[in-house]
Structure 1
Amino acid sequence: MLFTLLAFALALGVLITFHELGHYWVARRCGVRVLRFSVGFGKVLARRVDRHGTEWAISAIPLGGYVKMLDDAPPNASAAEGNEAFNRKSLWRRSAIVLAGPVANLVLAVLLYTALGLLGSNEPAAILAAPPANSMAAQAGFQAGDRITAINQEEVQSWSEARWSLLDVLTSGGEVSVQVDTATGLSRERLLRLTAGTIEPDGSDLMAEAGLNLAMPRPLVNQINPGGAGEQAGLRSGDIIVALGSLKDPSAGTVVAEVQKNPGKTLPITVLRDAVPVTLTVIPRAEAAASGAQVGRIGVMLGADFPMVTVRYGVLDSLGRGISRTVDTAWFSLKMMWRMVLGDVSLRNVSGPVTIADYAGQTARLGLSAYIGFLALISVSIGVLNLLPIPMLDGGHLMYYVLEAVRGKPVPDKWLENGQRIGLGLLAGLMGLAFFNDFSRLFS
């Protein structure tokens, strides 16, 4: 729990502080006086005032930060001091300052996705299992052992890249061209026609619904107990089991089950050793299980053999992919929001801080790459959310500035007051829904 809370606090601290840095950086360049930049909220623990008169503070609650600007000049201010007030700035300068926060989050996402491409990650290759009969994948001609290499002419290296490239069409429906290398080494193009999938937080996997499943890993001999039946049969560490008894291409689970139900019986076993098939004979030893029944054991520890690929790109490719991934994620988020408004997507997909904290802890435990990917995704979400035309958000202020540009003068104070009430109500309702969904998932 503590680890999850720390991962969540770090994520919010980084993402919101970067958002506020965007506002600060543009405000300073537009000549606005910034009174305070605080990392965290609540009681100030440490502070320093720079030569521009900005107080840099570290506060007690490390869940983000804020920028306090000079909104209106005091009555006795000089002309120079008055010009440092935010409300004295031109429309385009005020708009740039407000827009800078969400843009900073999108820029951060680009940098994080770029870093992922440069760091690289070890991921499963996109090799498919046999699709279920009559599934959309089967109708498109996919076969066991097909390895996805490109989707709509865009290169795909791993299973996670394939899932991301297909996400939009899986949710919206349509046609997609998938280039594969078959199990026999031939290059083929499959035209996959997909119907729009139903998106639910606890719903089925849309890839699996389409018939696209990752091939099961083959059982790999990791360790052999000295003197055991496996060692006597001639098994070696690194052998890949491809047949046992009557089983062909078994999984690790079926190998264990076959051994356990055949104590004292002779079983032929075929393994791949340095890519060469080797057939041996193993006789499982009869041993007493916890239930008292006799089961067979061969004294080996099994692991999983699955082709892995290192996904890594150069600087320019990483930057290009970072920009593309950020744009695609932002656009996908907007599409999902609109589909929620239309009722095509369940409101149960709205997540709040409890779910986000849980994901922060999970990804941090998986490793640096997973956590960076999580930070990039949430950074895009913060940027997109803040651009929505809801009063109290950055997008709401921009909406007012658009109205000011159309009218040729600022909007009336009454509009601002009513907008604040509406915005507060909308945000309160959204947060209530998010918390309801969070706790529903927590206790269901």
Structure 2
Amino acid sequence: MMLIQTVLAFLVVLGTLVVVHELGHYLAARWCGVKVLRFSVGMGRIVWSRRFGRDQTEWALSALPLGGYVKMLDAREQDLSKIAPADLAREFTRQSVWRRIIIVAAGPLANFLLAILVFAGLYMYGIPEPTARLRAAPAHSAAAQAGVQAGDLVTRVNGQAVDSWSTLRWKMIDLAVDREVARIEVMRADPQRPGASRTEELRLRTDMLSVADLEGDFLGKLGLDLARPAAVLGRIGADGPAERAGLRSGDAITAIDGRPVADAVAFVESVRAAPGRALTLTGLRQGQPFTLSVTPAPVSKDGKTFGRIQAEVPMAPEMAVSSSGPIKALGQAVVKTWDTSTLTLRMLGKMLVGEVSWKNITGPITIADYAGQTARIGIISFLSYIAFISISLGVMNLLPIPVLDGGLLLYYSVEVLTGRPVSERFGELAQRAGIGILMTLMMVAMFNDIVRLIS
């Protein structure tokens, strides 16, 4: 079932992005007066088609579901000798350079517009997200050196407001890519005034991160982690180690073997690290202290052994839901799309100079995997993923690589500056080089996908 769900989610993502991208080209071509012969979702052999409209445009589904295309009346691809004179003026290459620029640019712009509309809708609806409240930083980490304390609530990074954990992560990776110092404003309890809080600014270095660190949990490498609730037990499994030891639902664990337990995550980690070894638990039960001993049962999985006491320990972080009005949501969506696009370009630039690993390039297998994962999480995560992939598709298509939209825009920009089109010979050589570049990128992406799948 998971495989079927992953495949269906991937087809929805891919189909949506391809249709939106090609629809941008199609609508722009129609607006500029160019005749469209075919609109295809998919590449290769046509498996289904129908003709509609005054121009009898062929709407088709093709065999290979990786991409799509809009086929226009084009002298470079069709024999115009049998074309009606009325249609000759609607041929693509006879349009002004500005019209050709509009038609080519409309595809990537449609992807950006889709992302903006999706993000705006999510901001209006309200996205439940963890707040940017922090756990105690591990000793000797960059966060500990900066002075991060348990319970700190991040409100700003380098003067920009932070309203959720995802916003914090986004702003931190933006700084980490350039190895800049993060000026983090936090709200923390004021020890001088019980119940009150105060604002402090911390300076956290990101230059200690390596290129490999940016590929995974880079916030964890800096020592930043989500605050978690106290270790309070939930449902107790029947006849498990916890029940036999006398533990009950609602028990708050404060120490293990005399060492304080910071939160639910710390408690679970301590239990998992002690298979078959008796642990002395200290805690509170209905406000009264208690001490008892429990021995986690050893459980083996994937060649590793860990301890388990069969007791639920809720670890959900503090959540917040905020929704915006239409105008504010649209502004937030535009900013999000712009920031994502510029970060994507900067990451690509860092890859070219070796400052970021090429392992970050992903292909259809990883995209399908993430599509399935986000679909299982919920509609909000799935829509967010579609928006992010739409931005990536828009950015990639604008790269100045021949055979991509960005390569054609580069040609037309040269034509605007020089007053004459790029020569056919140069165009052919550039197209071959572009195909070579794309094939290389596809091979790298597929290799990375396979490595991720195996590991």
Q: Which category describes the TM-score, using the shorter chain as reference length?
A: 0.7 to 0.9
Go from structure 1 to structure 2 and tell me whether the alpha carbon gap of 1:302 and 1:208 turns closer, same or farther (over 3 Å shift). closer
Give the structure 2 partner of residue 74 of structure 1. Answer: 80
- In structure 1, the gaps of 5 or more residues are none
Please state how far the C-alpha of 1:87 moved relative to its aligned partner. Answer: 1.0
Go from structure 1 to structure 2 and tell me whether the alpha carbon gap of 1:428 and 1:232 turns closer, same or farther (over 3 Å shift). closer
| Structure 2 counterpart of 1:252, one-letter code | F
| Structure 2 counterpart of 1:366, one-letter code | I
Go from structure 1 to structure 2 and tell me whether the alpha carbon gap of 1:425 and 1:261 turns closer, same or farther (over 3 Å shift). closer
Please state how far the C-alpha of 1:255 moved relative to its aligned partner. Answer: 6.4
Paired residues of 2:297 and 2:308 also in contact (CA < 8 A)? no
Please state how far the C-alpha of 1:2 moved relative to its aligned partner. Answer: 2.4
Paired residues of 2:137 and 2:148 also in contact (CA < 8 A)? yes
Say yes or no: does 1:369 pair with 2:369. no
Paired residues of 1:234 and 1:280 also in contact (CA < 8 A)? no
Say yes or no: does 1:440 pair with 2:451. yes
| Structure 1 counterpart of 2:136, one-letter code | A
Counterparts of 1:229 and 1:344, CA distance in 2: 49
Give the structure 2 partner of residue 26 of structure 1. Answer: 28
Paired residues of 2:227 and 2:318 also in contact (CA < 8 A)? no
Query: RMSD over aligned Cα, in angstroms?
Result: 3.3
Paired residues of 1:152 and 1:176 also in contact (CA < 8 A)? yes
Measured against aligned partners, the alpha-carbon deviations of 1:13-72 in whole angstroms (never above 9, x if no partner) come to 111110001101111000011112123343332413123422223445444432111113
SS at 1:55 equivalent = strand
Give the structure 2 partner of residue 53 of structure 1. Answer: 56
Paired residues of 1:129 and 1:213 also in contact (CA < 8 A)? yes
Please state how far the C-alpha of 1:308 moved relative to its aligned partner. Answer: 1.8
Please state how far the C-alpha of 1:301 moved relative to its aligned partner. Answer: 3.7
Summarize the alignment of residues 312-391 of structure 1 with structure 2, pairs less than 5 Å apart.
312-391=323-402
State which drifts further: 59-68 or 233-242.
233-242
Please state how far the C-alpha of 1:127 moved relative to its aligned partner. Answer: 1.8
State which drifts further: 224-233 or 114-123.
224-233
Say yes or no: does 1:393 pair with 2:380. no
Measured against aligned partners, the alpha-carbon deviations of 1:292-331 in whole angstroms (never above 9, x if no partner) come to xxxx999854322532222433322221121111111111
Q: Return the TM-score normalized by structure 2.
A: 0.84
Paired residues of 1:233 and 1:282 also in contact (CA < 8 A)? no
Go from structure 1 to structure 2 and tell me whether the alpha carbon gap of 1:144 and 1:412 turns closer, same or farther (over 3 Å shift). same
Give the structure 1 partner of residue 221 of structure 2. Answer: 209
Counterparts of 2:295 and 2:400, CA distance in 1: 71
Say yes or no: does 1:279 pair with 2:288. yes
Summarize the alignment of residues 11-160 of structure 1 with structure 2, pairs less than 5 Å apart.
11-41=13-43, 42-72=45-75, 74-160=80-166
Say yes or no: does 1:10 pair with 2:24. no
- In structure 2, the gaps of 5 or more residues are 191-196, 301-306
Give the structure 2 partner of residue 199 of structure 1. Answer: 211
Give the structure 2 partner of residue 306 of structure 1. Answer: 317
Say yes or no: does 1:270 pair with 2:302. no
Counterparts of 1:362 and 1:17, CA distance in 2: 23
Measured against aligned partners, the alpha-carbon deviations of 1:209-267 in whole angstroms (never above 9, x if no partner) come to 2222223442233225799999999987556444567343353324688998669x8x6
Counterparts of 2:69 and 2:57, CA distance in 1: 13
Among candidates 438, 449, 452, match of residue 427 of structure 1: 438
Paired residues of 1:252 and 1:303 also in contact (CA < 8 A)? no
Paired-residue identity, %: 43
Go from structure 1 to structure 2 and tell me whether the alpha carbon gap of 1:268 and 1:173 turns closer, same or farther (over 3 Å shift). closer
Give the structure 1 partner of residue 194 of structure 2. Answer: none
Go from structure 1 to structure 2 and tell me whether the alpha carbon gap of 1:232 and 1:398 turns closer, same or farther (over 3 Å shift). closer
Go from structure 1 to structure 2 and tell me whether the alpha carbon gap of 1:288 and 1:299 turns closer, same or farther (over 3 Å shift). closer
Counterparts of 1:355 and 1:202, CA distance in 2: 18
SS at 1:214 equivalent = coil
Measured against aligned partners, the alpha-carbon deviations of 1:99-155 in whole angstroms (never above 9, x if no partner) come to 111111111111222222223333222221222334332332221221112223332
Give the structure 1 partner of residue 267 of structure 2. Answer: 252
State which drifts further: 22-31 or 217-226.
217-226
Go from structure 1 to structure 2 and tell me whether the alpha carbon gap of 1:260 and 1:416 turns closer, same or farther (over 3 Å shift). closer
State which drifts further: 434-443 or 424-433.
434-443
State which drifts further: 172-181 or 36-45.
36-45
Among candidates 399, 419, 426, match of residue 408 of structure 1: 419
State which drifts further: 240-249 or 133-142.
240-249
Counterparts of 1:354 and 1:256, CA distance in 2: 33
| Structure 1 counterpart of 2:357, one-letter code | S
